[in-house]
Structure 1
Amino acid sequence: MAPLTPSEPVARTEPVASVTVVGLDAAGAPPHPALASVLAAAGLVVGAARHLAAVPVPAGADTVTLGPLAPAVRRLAEAVAAGVPAVVLASGDPGLFGIVRRLRAAGLPLRVVPAVSSVAAAFARAGLPWDGAAVVTAHGRDPRAALNACRALPLVAVLTAPGAGAAELGAGLVGWSRRLLVAEHLGTDAERIRAVTPEQAAAESWADPHVLLSLAEPASTGCGVGTAGAGQSALATGGMRVDNQPAAAPAGGWALPETRYAHRDSMISKSEVRALVVARLRPRLGRLIWDVGAGSGSVGIECALLGAAVLAVEQDRGAGATIQANAAAHGVNVRLVAARAPEALAGLPEPDAVFVGGGGVDVLAAVAARRPERVVLTLAALDRVAPAVGLLRAAGYTVEGVQLSAARLADLPGGSIRLAATNPVVVLTGERPCTT
């Protein structure tokens, strides 16, 4: 391995950092060969109890056992000010959702010696490539974002935490076609990698901390559609996106022409309308979008192309098959709920935003009762606008609306060009006031 080098850019002339952050290999390999000399010079060593017990801490060095991080950061700052060399011990790669971010935020000068991360070790133990995986964490934050990443993308690694581990994430993935690999006690004699279904993961207890790998299963019938196509490659079967961005905006864009989707009798949101609707829904990795009355599924699919998890609710069986075919063609995962709204909405996981593309006032009322952050709907009939606005306002939403009427260029005989009008549509957006 390369010798220790400052993490600062080469052009800087600041002194060599007096805090060295050393990762202990999550795969169980011996420590970095430079660790012995770094420890021998240290006047302060900081780490979890298991890390302090695993290395030869010098007899004259002070130690801080990590619990709350703030006291350790204060001790490290005092050591830097006094010119005392300090060492921080961490698991795996301390720059991957690790302590390096917090120490940097405190203004401490650092050198970092990473080891194999727990994520890399978990994929290696499972014998899987992970160059196209998304890596997220459920530690110290709302786990719904990590859960929705697993719902949206075909290959995700999750760094878990007590109360936000394989059991909880597995429960949230019931209904999605996923295979879960749970890696416990990595790098120890008790190491264990188990492949389970979401239902099995939810029913068991797991050792903390552990790493969860979520892999999309090939589509058959029902939910969990597609892992191959133009948008995202079949990561679960060894492929990867050529742009190396598992959750980036699609290279082919969005607000795609209607010809890019199978649809019946032009029953599809026009691209101009879809552009505004998708913008209002604000899809991104970590969010869950409902597409109610999904029709061809174009709105939900474009939300999925932008990284969101998507539930498409559609009662018509023929339309459901079309949604599945369109999702597979665009290489995204969309869970189909083939049932009638509003009854079908009961028991579905809480959405961040909802598009209501079909159904009456009862569907809109059921959606508003779940209090998502945003509700977006399209209406062609003007007599439905006022009741919808009133319902949303009564539910505590602020409402804005716009009428869209696009005219597209169309050829005429003799080389002339005319404007061909599309049907005007009213787009309503209801937003819940921020409470924080």
Structure 2
Amino acid sequence: MTAPITVVGTGTGAPVPEDVLAGAALVVGGRRHLDAVRLPEAAERIVLGPLAPALDAVERYLDKGARVVVLASGDPGFFGIVRALAERFGAGRLDVRPGVSSVATAFARLGLPWDDAVVVSAHGRDLRTAVNACRAHPKVAVLTGPGAGPAELGAAVSGDRVLVVASALGDPRRERVERVTPAEAAARDWGTAVSVVLCLDESRAPGAVRTVAGGLDWPAGWALDEAEFAHRDSMITKFEVRALALARLGPRLGDLVWDVGAGSGSVAVECARLGAAAVAVEKTVDGAGRIRANAAAHGVDVRVVHGQAPAALSGLDDPDAVFIGGGGRELPAVVTACARRARRTVVIAMAALDRVPAAREALTGAGFSCDGVLLQSSRLAPLPGDVTRLAATNPVFLLWGVRLPAPIEGVAR
């Protein structure tokens, strides 16, 4: 028995077979998709706008035992309407005929593989996740939408990227695939025909052979040994401390993490290796240079800001998480500035006991819950005679604050 809802991917060059439309009582789709086909004379046509009314109409026709056809762009199971239809009516009632996705088509136009690309949808979603993915990864495809197109993306990413803007894919008269700089993209009005933007860092081309699709080569290990980083006079967050700090920061694809008072940038580099966009703030010139060298050695992109917090933080986008590894007497002011802007969590590493109360007060005063631990570790160290001793490392206080949910008006906490 034919499924009552046929979902057809079109719009990237593949025509809709006429037999698919035969006998349809309702045909739903974007205006350009509907205009491109010959509908049965008795069929009702609904132009997709808000999704809920269209789904309600589909349900009315299904209740009458009528057949419905939905026309969608490219592969409707890839960030498409299949998810909403399956959730509402059940996957068993769908007959999905996928076309070629706009992402696959855009990469094909460039002659590039895309099994190593990160794909992010900004259509009807917050652009910041796409922006942070573009900051962190060398090959990203962004599915665009109103208010989240090439101009907005170009204004947010750095000038060392190349943006490839794909418009009207599959239309032999209107299709355009243009390579532009972020500044050029930000300065133009691109209209409504853009469906996908590729953001490429051509200086960091991924490897040629892959086994798993996706742009992220997950690191085999994290909390790397200090010897994996260039640093000065052991001024580096030790791997035991870094392990817990990373666990509390929770860096992930689409996040932005600040490493404030970065020193060697070990925390920023590790966050970038785990998929997040990372900014390292460092007040010394030689420290900023070391951070760039460490990022390059580990094949990640870390934005380095040479300046002293909290003043150096003012021009940065709001982070999801912040690690503070320095601050001195300015630490309470730095913690307060970071906590005001962090969306999720702030983690602070301190060697000085005297600074713990002020840092804790700054976190709680900014509306964060606060917890912490004193880390004291002893490492195995060789002794003459093929024996081993325990060598103690310096104790470090690690505090972390998690943003409390905003109170609901009229509801006591």
Coarse TM-score class (shorter-chain normalised): over 0.9
Corresponding residue number in structure 2 for 1:224: none
Corresponding residue number in structure 1 for 2:97: 113
User: In the alignment, does 2:347 pair up with 1:376?
Assistant: yes
SS at the partner of 2:135?
helix
Output one character per residue of 1:141-171: Cα deviation in whole Å (capped at 9) or x when no partner: 2111111111111100001111111111111
How many residues end up aligned between the 2 structures?
400
- The CA deviation at 1:241 is 5.0
- The CA deviation at 1:367 is 1.9
- The CA deviation at 1:363 is 2.3
Corresponding residue number in structure 1 for 2:275: 307
Output one character per residue of 1:203-238: Cα deviation in whole Å (capped at 9) or x when no partner: 2111224211101142xxxxxxxx3xxxxxx23xx7
Corresponding residue number in structure 2 for 1:275: 243
Is the 1:185–1:207 Cα contact (8 Å) retained in structure 2? no
- State the alpha-carbon separation in 1 of the partners of residues 315 and 113 from structure 2: 35
- State the alpha-carbon separation in 2 of the partners of residues 328 and 241 from structure 1: 21
1:53 pairs with 17, 24, 35, which one?
35
- The CA deviation at 1:135 is 0.7
- State the alpha-carbon separation in 2 of the partners of residues 202 and 193 from structure 1: 16
Give the share of equivalent positions with the same residue, in percent. Answer: 56
Distance 1:424 1:430, change over 3 A: same
1:141 pairs with 100, 120, 125, which one?
125
Q: Spell out the pairing of 1:23-422 with structure 2 (5 A cutoff).
A: 23-26=9-12, 29-32=13-16, 35-108=17-90, 109-174=93-158, 177-188=160-171, 189-210=173-194, 211-218=196-203, 227=204, 234-235=205-206, 239=208, 242-247=211-216, 249-250=218-219, 252-359=220-327, 360-361=330-331, 362-422=333-393
Is the 1:131–1:240 Cα contact (8 Å) retained in structure 2? no
- State the alpha-carbon separation in 1 of the partners of residues 307 and 84 from structure 2: 47
Output one character per residue of 1:335-360: Cα deviation in whole Å (capped at 9) or x when no partner: 11122222211111111111111113
Is the 1:152–1:333 Cα contact (8 Å) retained in structure 2? yes
SS at the partner of 1:145?
helix
- The CA deviation at 1:67 is 1.5
- State the alpha-carbon separation in 1 of the partners of residues 269 and 212 from structure 2: 20
Point out the more displaced range, 141-150 or 378-387: 141-150
Amino acid at match of 2:200: L
Is the 1:181–1:212 Cα contact (8 Å) retained in structure 2? yes
Is the 2:115–2:214 Cα contact (8 Å) retained in structure 1? no
SS at the partner of 1:106?
helix
Amino acid at match of 1:216: D
SS at the partner of 2:66?
coil
**TM value normalised by structure 2:** 0.92
Cα RMSD over matched residues? 1.8
- State the alpha-carbon separation in 1 of the partners of residues 241 and 312 from structure 2: 26
- State the alpha-carbon separation in 2 of the partners of residues 152 and 353 from structure 1: 15
- State the alpha-carbon separation in 2 of the partners of residues 244 and 318 from structure 1: 38
Distance 1:356 1:240, change over 3 A: farther
- The CA deviation at 1:371 is 4.3
Amino acid at match of 1:123: F
Distance 1:297 1:186, change over 3 A: same
Is the 1:162–1:209 Cα contact (8 Å) retained in structure 2? no
Distance 1:324 1:158, change over 3 A: same
Distance 1:209 1:309, change over 3 A: farther
Amino acid at match of 1:126: L
SS at the partner of 1:310?
strand
**TM value normalised by structure 1:** 0.87
- State the alpha-carbon separation in 1 of the partners of residues 305 and 116 from structure 2: 28
Runs of 5+ in structure 2 lacking a partner? Answer: 409-413
Runs of 5+ in structure 1 lacking a partner? Answer: 1-14, 219-226, 228-233
Distance 1:78 1:132, change over 3 A: same
- State the alpha-carbon separation in 1 of the partners of residues 9 and 239 from structure 2: 50
